[in-house]
Structure 1
Amino acid sequence: MRRFDRTPEPSGASPEPAPEGVRRFVVQRHRARRLHYDVRFEIDGVLVSWAVPRGPTLDPDVKRMAVHVEDHPLEYEDFEGVIPAGEYGGGDVIVWDRGTWEPYKGDDPAADVARGELHAELHGTRLKGRFVLVRRGAADAGGKEQWLLLHKHDEHAVAGWDAEDHPTSVVSGRTNDEVKADPDRLWRSDLPAAQASVELHPPVPPGPTDDELAALDDLGRAGTWDVFGRSVRLTNLDKVLFPSRDGEEPVTKRELVRYAARIAPVALPYLRGRPLNMHRYPEGAATKGFWHKQLPGHAPDWVPRWDNPEADAGETTTYLVVDEPAALVWAANFGALEWHAWTSLAAEPRRPTYALVDLDPGTSTPWEDVLLLARLHRDAFAHLGVTAQPKLTGRRGIQIWVPIAVGPDFDETRAWVETLSRTVGAVVPELVSWRWEVRERGGQARLDYTQNAINKTLVAPYSPRAAAGAPVSAPITWEELDEPWLRPDAFTVRTVLDRIAERGDPFRTVLTHDQTLPRLR
């Protein structure tokens, strides 16, 4: 039997127990290296499991081969989603059937399994009646035991019954293809089982209430603001953080905090689960800022965080992770004028979920040339059939984010983006330099693929930028590249919320991470 200190599957803490005397079973349709059905019985606190390549059947005249595999934690019983490529069981999973079961011969299922014969009566949505699992012989060279699974001749037997005639989940009604295209959960085999099922589309909380915003307005220069169910200590609220643009008032810390609270529900899906590099300007955007990655010891206990297990001496050990909206309010009060989330999740820091294209204009690059480079990339992505989305930097350039399924490492995504951008750059070589040093580029633009690296970040969607008027790194549509009004700093903390109210968030398309980058050579 499996040892939890040796197997790649997590053991987990004890989950919520079933009613006394009730045993659960689950069958998961699992597409890993090849399609199979995982038949799992709750026995003595774990899911004792068999992989059945052709699936169970109600036909009593058909015997199915079953391979006895590792026990799984009870937390895995209701998992439906994807397991990242390269991990144990990598692929997509649906809950094909589930219910309760009871032994109909013997009263010690664990001993029955050890003896090589388990008799189980199932009460599921699809599988009903009496089944038997029988060991055929000794384990093979890989240590796997070969068993047979069959249904008894009883009132639930159905001749010709085939699992593949029923390809949907009994939980969601979705097929494996549909779950793979838009998974709700990710199973992280390297985490404790109680944390391994990671929710990918958690509900977005509502914004601050009118009463909460009024309370912020009523605070003096400092005070405690109760917002999103948290008490956030605010300081220096009347300090000017962003110089004014012509004809406008400067932006104060109070206004930045207010913006952080209002934009948090929109920005949260792009920040959640990701370490955050904060670009801080405690004295305002007119002064020199600095990168602040280490979460300070004085941060409230409720502020979510990630401890980096790979941190070397002198490196950042604990990062802020904006898993709830109040954390973004706290960061704004901390002087973080810009928010730069990692392109990988803390759960898998070396596996990015985005490939990034950074159109970095040179000192002599006019805005029209930046737009030309963006349109050429637009055409390239359309030709490749790749989903990608452009975003204004809030400064001078444009960035393009390409959502990908967890799998490739940063070396692979960087190489892919380099190949793509060099192909695009070859169309207009007079506009592009591939030199690393700015002073060596002759004022030309750089298509910077090097941002595809661990802990190197591009500014997050809807983050302010440290410049006059508090411009925002605002997502745009591909069609808006042709609009005459478009400028890289077209939207500010004072205008972007109205845009979202009128047009919605065009960046939501990058939140579905099911895309595989096509070969370019």
Structure 2
Amino acid sequence: MALEKYNQKRDFTKTKEPKGIKKDSDGALRFVVQKHAASHLHYDFRLEIDGVLVSWAVPKGPSSDHEVKRLAMHVEDHPMDYIDFEGTIPEGEYGGGTVMVWDIGTYHAEGNDDISKDNLTMKKQLKQKSVKVVLNGSKLKGSYHLFSIGADGKQWLLMKGNDRFADGKPFNELSILTKRDFDAIAKGHHVWERTQKSATKKIVPVKKSERKEEEKMDHSAQADGAFSADDLAEAVKIKSFPDEWRPQLATLTDAAFDNEDWIFEHKYDGYRALVQIHNKKATLVSRNGLKFNSKYPEIARTLDGTPQDMILDGEIVVEDTKGKSNFQWLQQYGDYPEKGTLKFYAFDVLYFQGYDLRNLGLLLRKKILKAILPKAKNIIYSEHTTTLGTKAFEKAANEGGEGIIAKKSDSTYQTDKRSRDWLKVKTNKQQEMVIGGFTDPQGGRKGIGALLCGYYDGNDLVYAGKVGSGFTEPILEDLRRKLDRISRKSAPFSTVPKEKNAHWVSPKLIAQLKFSEFTDTGNMRHPVFLGLRADKDPKEIKMEQPLVVTEKATQKGSPVTAKSSAASGKSRVEFSNLDKIFWPKEKITKGDVIDYYRSVSEYILPYLKDRPQSLRRTPDGIKSEGFFQKDVAGKVPKWVKTRKIKSDSAEESVEWLICNDEETLLFMANWGCIELNPWSSRVGSLNNPDYIIFDLDPKGAPMKSIIRTAHKVKETLDLLKVPAYIKTSGGNGLHVFIPVLPKYTYEQTRQFSHLVSQMVHRDLPEITSLERLPAKRQGKVYLDFLQNGRGKTMASIYSLRPREGAGVSTPLDWEEVNDALDLKAFNIKTIPERLQQKGDLWAHFFDDAIDLKSILNKI
């Protein structure tokens, strides 16, 4: 790239960056890696070639691990004088932000020992879009490879060569020249001057008073050396205080386990809260955004005046003299503060002094938390143990505690999400229930006799029994006052309980209960009232069943599996032939399929909800082709939701199955539906799809052609400013999806898909085809735009495929779409673990829906 582009992007009256002037390359070639805190933190990898610094932006930075490949975006060339630029580019200017010289040194072309030929060799490598160099820096040493993966030459991959320096160790993240972090560089206490004759620099020493100010944050944070600025190297600096964040939630599991990769904390019986400290003012916020300051002012007052901004995650509890928490006392604390001691247990930190810490590992966050936590009797750091979860659970049970929380020690913080990196193990069964009514008191009792409670299943409030114990007289009278204010004439439950003289109320209050077990009819046995909850929405209250079942306790490897027993919990599905072999070679059974779909239900159901299902049934496994079934009239249980729809060709309506919940999903799996095929539109807008499909069908084409075609599709959609989501087909191809507002017809979406496919084929005629006949497109990637049609279906995201290998149609990061992509790696055995690590990569898919008309107007 010419330096003209570099100069055009910069106003040199406002930035101290050097002007772009090409220089002759002589002697050993040089390289630099600059860490750049612009709008997005990234690393700039620059190689001297023919008198300029040829540059790539590497979002995640170089790695010393030979197996790790980093996306590198080819950007404009930079002048040689940029090689030691370290400082701040003003906001509003191109690349505004702080620049650090992360590493610097010399290099030569791999396989070439003649320095005089290095520049010519590098020019050839660059033209061939495959660069192999040997670096001699302070951090980066040995072989590194860069190769293009996109037709336009913009997208490359950077990887470490397999040599003795490929040790996988992390790098020091401070400036290689000044040992400073971004904050120190941004403050500008060191003034850098380039001399006329050489590339040496001089450092103007900082005054003691200035140095004290520069070190102020580090000193307050380190707390006797507990952590330093190095620990914040991977944290992201953000401009505004994030008061909209909400806590990460834990997933229920069935039993404790031992594992060296997990830590175990006490499960507190209180109110979950984030403490937001901003401008020396503390605000207590519930998991749903309610303010707790007026309810528990002592906690807020204790933390008011804290000089550093931070967000802490923890639990508000009231403890007795033995340190045991009591939820009822907490709920009644405003009226009876003398009953116990109010405390806040802090177990995580999300934000500190302008830094977003959520992407740091859990143990590092806890290290920072322990260092910065204000010292007070009622503000307590939540200790943890490692490895021995069963022992921690036994201790909690012996002390009458509620249980433990297991957390993966290297996990990041997932705001406002229920994660399988955090698991809760309860010593007794507890459940929140919505109050839908009550009975009259009997004998000398006042207030109420029993609460009539239930939980939500979709929009239905399902009755789960009555609760008549756990009340004191003041609680009974207080409950009666609250219930009378929300009285109604009709029962809110989907099935009205047969209780004489019952009083009905609007389902607005939530009771925290404990009980021994559920009966066969779905009612609680021996329920006890613990208190009311004001920190949750009643619509959130559902039957809580273990979504994770532990394996036999181990010291190594994954402690839990997303696999859940098909028979665990009460279910309307009657499972059969669970040991039947579906994949003979892999020895995968029907029960394994059911367990897989249970483990991914929370991820797959959003993509199935309200969509008619074209059922591909393979009850004998992959040894047969199976058959498609659309009409399920009279063939499925009454509780399975269906919808009569008249197809374009049939005269009579067909009754299609609708999968909106886990039980229906498991019913389909038990019915032999290895593969799930939903419509592209939903009930209520059946003629208007909410996504557009690009099916990249290989038909014998090599993998590199599929990869190249996928990136061309993305490049084309990027030009149109259209979001592109990619997934594996579960077989040999790839699918690219576009979310679209459901107000356009299938014909309109198919036309758009055809238009984009024509643009892709125009640029890649040698490897792609729009021919429908297979004989005319052998060896080419078929751009199948015809998949966009009413009633046409394709394997859902996270769907298994009934073919050898038990592949799964899996969402990908675009940076994973490269020459190293192995489609066989995404299968029934690997996806649950991948979901634990990455979550749903398409989580915001429907939020990104485009208005097709506005896009077409731009073309």
After TM superposition, the score normalised by the length of structure 2 is 0.34
Equivalent residue number for residue 503 of structure 1: 838
**Equivalent AA in structure 2 for residue 408 of structure 1:** Y
Supply the RMSD in Å over aligned alpha carbons: 2.7
Is the counterpart of residue 362 in structure 1 residue 703 in structure 2? no
**Equivalent AA in structure 1 for residue 578 of structure 2:** L
Is the counterpart of residue 463 in structure 1 residue 799 in structure 2? yes
Is the counterpart of residue 232 in structure 1 residue 232 in structure 2? no
Relative to structure 1, the CA distance from residue 421 to residue 303 in structure 2 (aligned partners, 3 Å threshold; closer, same or farther) is same
**Equivalent AA in structure 1 for residue 600 of structure 2:** I
Equivalent residue number for residue 771 of structure 2: 435
User: 1:296, 1:241 → 2: CA distance?
Assistant: 27
Name the SS for the 2:810 alignment partner: coil
Match 1:380 to one of 710, 716, 722:
716
- Cα displacement (A) at 1:516: 1.2
Equivalent residue number for residue 453 of structure 1: 789
Write the mapping of 1:38-187 to structure 2, written as runs, cut at 5 A.
Answer: none
Match 2:634 to one of 290, 297, 302:
297
User: 2:578, 2:841 → 1: CA distance?
Assistant: 32
Equivalent residue number for residue 408 of structure 1: 744
- Cα displacement (A) at 1:208: 4.6
User: 1:410, 1:294 → 2: CA distance?
Assistant: 22
**Equivalent AA in structure 1 for residue 727 of structure 2:** K
- Cα displacement (A) at 1:481: 0.7
Relative to structure 1, the CA distance from residue 502 to residue 212 in structure 2 (aligned partners, 3 Å threshold; closer, same or farther) is closer
- Cα displacement (A) at 1:243: 3.3
User: 1:271, 1:203 → 2: CA distance?
Assistant: 20
| CA deviation vs aligned residue, 1:114-133 (integer Å, no higher than 9, x gap) | xxxxxxxxxxxxxxxxxxxx
Match 1:282 to one of 619, 622, 627:
619
User: 2:599, 2:614 → 1: CA distance?
Assistant: 21
User: 1:204, 1:487 → 2: CA distance?
Assistant: 41
Equivalent residue number for residue 516 of structure 1: 851
User: 1:467, 1:209 → 2: CA distance?
Assistant: 27
**Contact preservation (8 Å) 1:405, 1:513:** no
Relative to structure 1, the CA distance from residue 234 to residue 311 in structure 2 (aligned partners, 3 Å threshold; closer, same or farther) is farther
Is the counterpart of residue 353 in structure 1 residue 690 in structure 2? yes
**Contact preservation (8 Å) 2:692, 2:753:** yes
Relative to structure 1, the CA distance from residue 207 to residue 348 in structure 2 (aligned partners, 3 Å threshold; closer, same or farther) is farther
- Cα displacement (A) at 1:345: 0.5
Q: Percent identity?
A: 28
Equivalent residue number for residue 124 of structure 1: none
**Equivalent AA in structure 2 for residue 239 of structure 1:** K
**Contact preservation (8 Å) 2:696, 2:733:** yes
Relative to structure 1, the CA distance from residue 269 to residue 234 in structure 2 (aligned partners, 3 Å threshold; closer, same or farther) is same
**Contact preservation (8 Å) 1:304, 1:322:** yes
Q: Point out the structure with max Rg over C-alpha.
A: 2
User: 1:242, 1:204 → 2: CA distance?
Assistant: 39
User: 2:563, 2:682 → 1: CA distance?
Assistant: 35
Match 2:654 to one of 293, 317, 321:
317
- Cα displacement (A) at 1:333: 0.6
**Contact preservation (8 Å) 1:471, 1:491:** yes
Relative to structure 1, the CA distance from residue 480 to residue 406 in structure 2 (aligned partners, 3 Å threshold; closer, same or farther) is same
Is the counterpart of residue 343 in structure 1 residue 684 in structure 2? no
Name the SS for the 2:757 alignment partner: helix
Match 2:733 to one of 397, 403, 423:
397
Equivalent residue number for residue 345 of structure 2: none
Match 2:707 to one of 342, 359, 371:
371
Relative to structure 1, the CA distance from residue 511 to residue 213 in structure 2 (aligned partners, 3 Å threshold; closer, same or farther) is farther
- Cα displacement (A) at 1:490: 2.2
- Cα displacement (A) at 1:225: 3.6
Name the SS for the 1:430 alignment partner: coil
Name the SS for the 2:851 alignment partner: coil
**Contact preservation (8 Å) 2:730, 2:807:** yes
**Contact preservation (8 Å) 2:582, 2:590:** yes
User: 2:672, 2:696 → 1: CA distance?
Assistant: 27
- Cα displacement (A) at 1:500: 0.6
**Equivalent AA in structure 2 for residue 233 of structure 1:** E
Is the counterpart of residue 419 in structure 1 residue 760 in structure 2? no
Equivalent residue number for residue 381 of structure 2: none
Name the SS for the 1:387 alignment partner: coil
**Contact preservation (8 Å) 2:707, 2:819:** no
Name the SS for the 2:795 alignment partner: coil
**Equivalent AA in structure 2 for residue 262 of structure 1:** S
Is the counterpart of residue 308 in structure 1 residue 645 in structure 2? yes
- Cα displacement (A) at 1:293: 1.6
**Equivalent AA in structure 2 for residue 510 of structure 1:** F
Aligned residues: 308
**Contact preservation (8 Å) 1:356, 1:402:** yes
| CA deviation vs aligned residue, 1:43-75 (integer Å, no higher than 9, x gap) | xxxxxxxxxxxxxxxxxxxxxxxxxxxxxxxxx
Show structure 2 runs of 5+ residues with no match.
1-538, 553-561
User: 2:842, 2:564 → 1: CA distance?
Assistant: 34
Name the SS for the 1:391 alignment partner: strand
Is the counterpart of residue 272 in structure 1 residue 613 in structure 2? no
Name the SS for the 1:482 alignment partner: coil
| CA deviation vs aligned residue, 1:158-184 (integer Å, no higher than 9, x gap) | xxxxxxxxxxxxxxxxxxxxxxxxxxx
Equivalent residue number for residue 667 of structure 2: 330
Name the SS for the 1:385 alignment partner: coil
User: 1:514, 1:217 → 2: CA distance?
Assistant: 33
- Cα displacement (A) at 1:207: 7.1
- Cα displacement (A) at 1:252: 0.2
**Equivalent AA in structure 2 for residue 495 of structure 1:** T
- Cα displacement (A) at 1:312: 6.2
User: 1:217, 1:297 → 2: CA distance?
Assistant: 32
| CA deviation vs aligned residue, 1:20-42 (integer Å, no higher than 9, x gap) | xxxxxxxxxxxxxxxxxxxxxxx
- Cα displacement (A) at 1:318: 1.1
Relative to structure 1, the CA distance from residue 298 to residue 387 in structure 2 (aligned partners, 3 Å threshold; closer, same or farther) is same
Is the counterpart of residue 241 in structure 1 residue 579 in structure 2? no
Name the SS for the 2:668 alignment partner: helix
Name the SS for the 1:300 alignment partner: coil
**Contact preservation (8 Å) 1:213, 1:258:** no
**Contact preservation (8 Å) 2:677, 2:793:** yes
- Cα displacement (A) at 1:471: 0.8
**Contact preservation (8 Å) 1:293, 1:316:** no
- Cα displacement (A) at 1:313: 4.6
Relative to structure 1, the CA distance from residue 263 to residue 208 in structure 2 (aligned partners, 3 Å threshold; closer, same or farther) is farther
**Contact preservation (8 Å) 1:274, 1:342:** yes
Relative to structure 1, the CA distance from residue 208 to residue 241 in structure 2 (aligned partners, 3 Å threshold; closer, same or farther) is farther
Equivalent residue number for residue 258 of structure 1: 595
User: 1:352, 1:311 → 2: CA distance?
Assistant: 16
Show structure 1 runs of 5+ residues with no match.
1-201
- Cα displacement (A) at 1:211: 6.7
- Cα displacement (A) at 1:358: 0.7
**Equivalent AA in structure 2 for residue 498 of structure 1:** E
User: 1:424, 1:277 → 2: CA distance?
Assistant: 30
User: 2:782, 2:766 → 1: CA distance?
Assistant: 11
- Cα displacement (A) at 1:507: 1.3
**Contact preservation (8 Å) 2:631, 2:654:** yes
